[in-house]
Amino acid sequence: MANEIAVKNFYNQSTNKHTGILSWLLTKDHKRIGLMYMMAIMTFFVVGMLIGILMRLELIAPGRTIMSAQTYNSLFTLHGVIMIFLFIIPGLPAIFGNFFLPIQIGAEDVAFPRLNLLSWYVYIVGAILVIVSLFLPGGPIDTGWTFYIPYSVRSSTNISLALFAAFVLGFSSILTGINFITTVHRLRAPGMGFFKMPLFVWATYATAWIQVIATPVIAITILLVIIERAFGVGIFDPALGGDPILFQHLFWIYSHPAVYIMILPAMGVVSEIIPTFSRRTIFGYKQIAYSSLAIAFIGYLVWAHHMFSSGMSDTARWIFSLLTFIVALPSGVKIFNWVATMYKGSIDPKPPFLWVMNFIFLFSIGGLTGLVLGSLATDIHLTDTYFVVAHFHYVMFGGTGTIFFAALHYWFPKMFGRMYNMKFARIAVVLYFIGFNMLYFPKFIMGYMGMPRRYYDYLPQFESLQRISTFGSWILVGTIFFIFGYLFHALRKGKKATSNPWGGVTLEWHIPSPPPLENFEKIPTITHEPYDFSQLKEMKDE
């Protein structure tokens, strides 16, 4: 590809003396590191997705269909671990944050390029450890991705190694967070105050803070479980005098903010795409920026809403329920501001914009059903049912996953210098929407009717809904392969992309596609607001 594009870009310019694969493996260029993350993360996404489709296939009929109950237990655990730790937590910050954060603030690279490369290697080591844990004697873990005590202390599967893998992956996350915080504070271009930063940068910045502050909590928790398993110290296991609810507190003190590590960068991408395709400055820039910080902060204070039925105190239950409702406010601020941005805009429904519409619909369903689960009384009925599974798939996959595809379609021309087939992309949005809702919406109904999560078998009354869900999974997975297919085709044979195919105004659209090695010929001086579309004419004249 690099040979066909004449201008110098980061594909044909290297930060080191090597060529070929070594020039990538030893690179310090944030764009190449972003793409290396993309390769790894998308590989794990496909693996997680294939595990998901096998689980759905097992559930197409009651009783044993294609696998044993023990295999099913291992598969849902693996699906969770891979999708959470290897795909959705690093997905947007590590790929698109790495690639675009320095460009959007007018920097040549991140503050610590070597640390950036190290974080990729740490991620790969963590991922390898997860995979190794599947094949060692003891067998793949079967606890669910939440590793709840006491089962995770007593299970004979390779829990300690899988936990250690999560520990290592946490370091990768922390290193990326430190890098982004420092980059935003130290490397903004002249004239770019905090309130002139694009909102994707704001969102990634807020996320970086969560990565740095929350991740050590899971690291400590993991070490405690490993110590308990190895030496029989009674920390969490009640049989040894420990407190199992303490584990749930510690686990969710990280894992709930982790939900915001997943969703905040996605919200940042939405705040980029909507103004570009509405040709209007974002409505309520400061409110959206502050709401990112508010979500990051309040996101720390709601963890125990995962524990309403765990046996913790009633006082804690109503306090955490109240706090959960409060976190809906900054999320609402964003949704309303996005909609207000579109109002009277000159909307151009190109594929990235359609993906964002998909997101708003799916994420709203996910968010609102979260309030049902955040209410104490209704949560008792729905805890550990399919309703919860449907809720978090709407939030995580419908939210972050959908925006992963939106970001891919939005920035693809910039990253690879090629355009994809618009017609195919539009068809994909529609098929994705159909497949997604067929797969996950029946789970709300089944959950309400009492279908428990993580069960390998079910009663006859769930059969038709289970079947619809499985058919939906085929449509969804087929669509995702279709997307990969036309994007891969575009990589090789797509039309050459101009520097600004969508008419965006943030800094990445001021430089060639793909960008040159150090992004800018000369570090720009920022004079405009981030979403000031009056620049478009000047940009065309340039």
Partner 1 sequence: MSGNNKHHISYGTYILVWAALIAFTSITVTIAGVNLGRYTLFIALAIAAIKSALVINIFMHIKFDEPIFKVFLGISGATLFIIFLLTFFDYIYR
- Tell me how far, at minimum, the Cβ of 36 lies from partner 1, in Å: 29
Closer to partner 1 at the Cβ: 280 or 317? 317
Angle at 467 between CA 462 and CA 473, to 5 degrees: 130
Contacts (Cβ under 8 Å, ≥6 apart) of 230: 160
| Residue from 301, 340, 372, 468 in contact with partner 1 (CB under 8 A) | 301
- Tell me how far, at minimum, the Cβ of 115 lies from partner 1, in Å: 14
Q: Does the footprint of partner 1 cover residue 188 (CB under 8 A)?
A: no
- Tell me how far, at minimum, the Cβ of 307 lies from partner 1, in Å: 8
Contacts (Cβ under 8 Å, ≥6 apart) of 360: 270, 335, 338, 339
- Binding segment (CB under 8 A) for partner 1, from list 32-40, 207-215, 280-288, 516-524: 207-215
Q: Does the footprint of partner 1 cover residue 312 (CB under 8 A)?
A: yes
Q: Does the footprint of partner 1 cover residue 392 (CB under 8 A)?
A: no
| Residue from 192, 304, 446, 451 in contact with partner 1 (CB under 8 A) | 304
| Residue from 314, 521, 541, 542 in contact with partner 1 (CB under 8 A) | 314
What distance in Å separates the CA atoms of residue 207 and residue 292, rounded to the nearest whole number? 8
Give helix 402-416 / helix 422-449 axis angle, nearest 10°: 160
Q: Does the footprint of partner 1 cover residue 253 (CB under 8 A)?
A: yes
What distance in Å separates the CA atoms of residue 261 and residue 353, rounded to the nearest whole number? 23
- Binding segment (CB under 8 A) for partner 1, from list 124-132, 208-216, 514-522, 531-539: 208-216
Q: Does the footprint of partner 1 cover residue 289 (CB under 8 A)?
A: no
Q: Does the footprint of partner 1 cover residue 316 (CB under 8 A)?
A: yes
The CA–CA distances, whole Å, from 57 to 397, 418, 456, 485, 525 equal: 19, 37, 11, 24, 56
Which H, E and C letters describe 451-467, residue by residue? CECCCCCCCHHHHHHHH
Structure tokens at 23: 């020039």
- Tell me how far, at minimum, the Cβ of 399 lies from partner 1, in Å: 24
The CA–CA distances, whole Å, from 509 to 93, 202, 402 equal: 19, 18, 23
What distance in Å separates the CA atoms of residue 388 and residue 304, rounded to the nearest whole number? 15
Q: Which residues of 287-310 are buried (b: 16+ CB within 10 A; e: fewer)?
A: bbbebbbbbbbbbbbbbbbbbbeb
Q: What is the largest CA-CA distance in the chain?
A: 74
| Residue from 8, 18, 185, 496 in contact with partner 1 (CB under 8 A) | 185
Spell out the alpha helix ranges (H) of 140-283: 151-154, 159-186, 199-231, 244-278
Closer to partner 1 at the Cβ: 295 or 356? 295
Q: Does the footprint of partner 1 cover residue 213 (CB under 8 A)?
A: yes
- Tell me how far, at minimum, the Cβ of 24 lies from partner 1, in Å: 31
- Tell me how far, at minimum, the Cβ of 219 lies from partner 1, in Å: 14
Closest CA to 140 of 223, 219, 217, 47: 47
Closer to partner 1 at the Cβ: 217 or 507? 217
Closer to partner 1 at the Cβ: 146 or 421? 146
In the region spanning residues 92 to 131, those forming contacts with partner 1, defined by CB under 8 A, are: none
Q: Does the footprint of partner 1 cover residue 309 (CB under 8 A)?
A: no
Closer to partner 1 at the Cβ: 300 or 456? 300
| Residue from 13, 313, 346, 534 in contact with partner 1 (CB under 8 A) | 313
- Binding segment (CB under 8 A) for partner 1, from list 112-120, 309-317, 394-402, 424-432: 309-317
Burial of 343 (0-12, 13-18, 19+ CB in 10 A): exposed
Q: Does the footprint of partner 1 cover residue 319 (CB under 8 A)?
A: yes
What distance in Å separates the CA atoms of residue 30 and residue 10, rounded to the nearest whole number? 10
In the region spanning residues 443 to 472, those forming contacts with partner 1, defined by CB under 8 A, are: none
- Determine the size of the site formed for partner 1 (CB under 8 A): 19
List contacts with partner 1 (CB under 8 A): 185, 209, 212-213, 217, 245, 249, 253, 297, 300-301, 304, 312-316, 319-320
